[in-house]
Amino acid sequence: MMWIFLGAPGAGKGTQAERLQQDFGFVQISTGELLREAMRAGTELGKTVQGYVTRGDLVPDEVVASVLQERLVRGDTGTGVILDGFPRTVRQAEILEEMLAEHCWQLCGVLYLEASEEVVQQRLGGRRNCPQCGANYHVVTMPPKVEGRCDRCGAQLVVRPDDTPEAIRKRLEVYREQTEPLVAFYDQRGMLERIDASGEVDEVYRAVKEAVSRRWQRCLEKG
């Protein structure tokens, strides 16, 4: 079973996906995190994608699709997979449909987190990230217990390289042009669940959980 989180940069996809993973036993797959891991490790892939990610551009469809495919076939998919950050273009959505058909995977729902640009800019501007375990914080809304240190592993928190004002502007522009068309794409297929993501984390999570429970039931009935 597969779930997709769709939404602007900073809408809260990663935050909500992490909670779902804990509560439902799903496995969260963030293409952004897979790419950042490759960048940190200095692999060939990391070198190829570094420029795109740092500028706030999308990595070419075929590159990111093959990264996802490699991750999916590893097999540790728990009770389901949450795709956090894929697809991001109509072409990627088409590639995903091919993958689903090939492996007999079922898409249960697309959770579309809606938040205004003002809200997402505030969230991205205060985000801090753990370079070691990937945990996410916000200096105001989700601060770590000890300032600047990860609660989970104690590493020094950092600002993501694409959370600069210029890269944030670029990411939002790219989102509007290339990713937003997926709202209509999945709406036409009856897969879209609109979730108001402007509230507090717990409030948004309640709406996410309700949508997942509803869709899960339907997915099980379809088999």
Q: Which residues contact 86 (CB under 8 A, 6 or more apart)?
A: 4, 29, 31, 64, 65, 68, 92, 96
Number of chain positions touching ligand AP5 (CB under 6 A): 36
80 binds ligand AP5 (CB under 6 A): no
User: Is 127 an annotated catalytic residue?
Assistant: yes
13 binds ligand AP5 (CB under 6 A): yes
109 binds ligand AP5 (CB under 6 A): no
* Amino acid symbol at 202: D
Q: Choose, by CB under 6 A, the member of 1, 20, 29, 56 that binds ligand AP5.
A: 56
Q: Is the C-alpha dihedral spanning 94, 35, 207, 1 positive or negative?
A: positive
Stretch of residues binding ligand AP5 (CB under 6 A), selected from 20-28, 104-112, 180-188, 200-208: 200-208
Q: Rg of the chain's alpha carbons, rounded to an integer?
A: 17
Contacts with ligand AP5 by CB under 6 A lie at 7, 9-15, 30-32, 35, 52-53, 56-59, 64, 85-86, 88, 92, 123-124, 127, 136-138, 141-142, 162, 171, 200-201, 204
Where in the sequence numbering do the catalytic residues fall? 13, 88, 127, 160, 171
